[in-house]
């Protein structure tokens, strides 16, 4: 039994060491925003990120996609709050999309940075109806082709 206590004691000590390692590391808000942005962009039902005017201009001039577009992050010590501004695809159930965003963003940020995510606020800025009208056009075109073949 003494051996088991020593092993358990070592494990506790290692956990304490791991916790104290992050004290000297500062993670930029931009880094957290990029991590959250990548996680959000993978969620089904998200048509795009709603960023400000300046974000769109910087993408045009740099030619690079801004992965932090539409994400606002506040890091306070070891805790962070994330605001996500999105445009949803037409036909998507918004509460489901928002929940998935909250879950994925929190998991990605916490696992990659060690920060505790207190909140992930999702702000729906619009609905992408263009993709819905394109689907309708494709369906009508297919129906016309089927009618012509019959």
C-alpha 22/C-alpha 131 separation (Å) is 44
On whether the pTM is more than 0.85, the answer is no
Domain count, the chain: 1
Q: Give the per-residue pLDDT at 14.
A: 43
Q: Is residue 76 in some structural domain? A: yes
44 assigned to some structural domain? yes
Which residue, among 1, 19, 38, has the nearest Cα to 9 in the 3D structure? 1
In a domain, 123, yes or no: yes
**pLDDT of residue 33 exceeding 70:** yes
Inside any domain, residue 70: yes
DSSP state of 24: G
For 14-30, what is the mean pLDDT?
63
> How confident is the model over 79-104, as a mean pLDDT?
95
Residue 10 forms part of a structural domain:
no
Question: Which residue has better confidence, 59 or 35?
Answer: 35
Q: 26: domain range?
A: 19-149
Look at residue 132 and tell me whether its pLDDT is greater than 90. Answer: no
Calculate mean pLDDT across residues 5-27: 53
DSSP of 54-99: HHHHHHHHH-S--TTTTEEEEEETTEEEEEEEEEEETT--HHHHHH
> What is the model's pLDDT at position 146?
73
Within-domain flag for 6: no
Q: Is residue 14 part of a domain?
A: no
Decide: 102 and 64 in contact? Cβ < 8 Å: no
CATH code where residue 26 lies: 3.30.70.1350
Q: Is residue 113 part of a domain?
A: yes
pLDDT range class, residue 150, cuts 50, 70, 90: low
- Residues ≥6 apart with Cβ < 8 Å to 6: none
126 — pLDDT class (breaks 50, 70, 90): very high
Q: Of 1-10, 38-47, 129-138, which range is least confident?
A: 1-10
């Amino acid at each position: 039994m003494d051996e088991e206590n020593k092993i358990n004691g070592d494990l506790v000590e290692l956990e304490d060491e791991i916790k104290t390692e992050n004290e000297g590391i500062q993670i930029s808000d931009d880094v957290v925003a990029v991590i959250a942005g990548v996680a959000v962009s993978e969620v089904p039902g998200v048509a795009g990120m709603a960023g400000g005017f300046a974000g769109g201009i910087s993408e045009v001039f740099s030619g690079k996609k801004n992965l932090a577009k539409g994400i606002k992050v506040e890091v306070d010590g070891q805790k962070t709050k994330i605001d996500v501004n999105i445009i949803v695809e037409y036909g998507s159930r918004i509460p489901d999309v928002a929940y998935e965003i909250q879950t994925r963003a929190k998991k990605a940020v916490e696992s990659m940075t060690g920060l505790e995510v207190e909140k992930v606020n999702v702000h729906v800025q619009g609905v992408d109806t263009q993709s819905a009208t394109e689907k309708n056009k494709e369906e009508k075109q297919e129906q016309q082709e089927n009618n012509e073949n019959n």
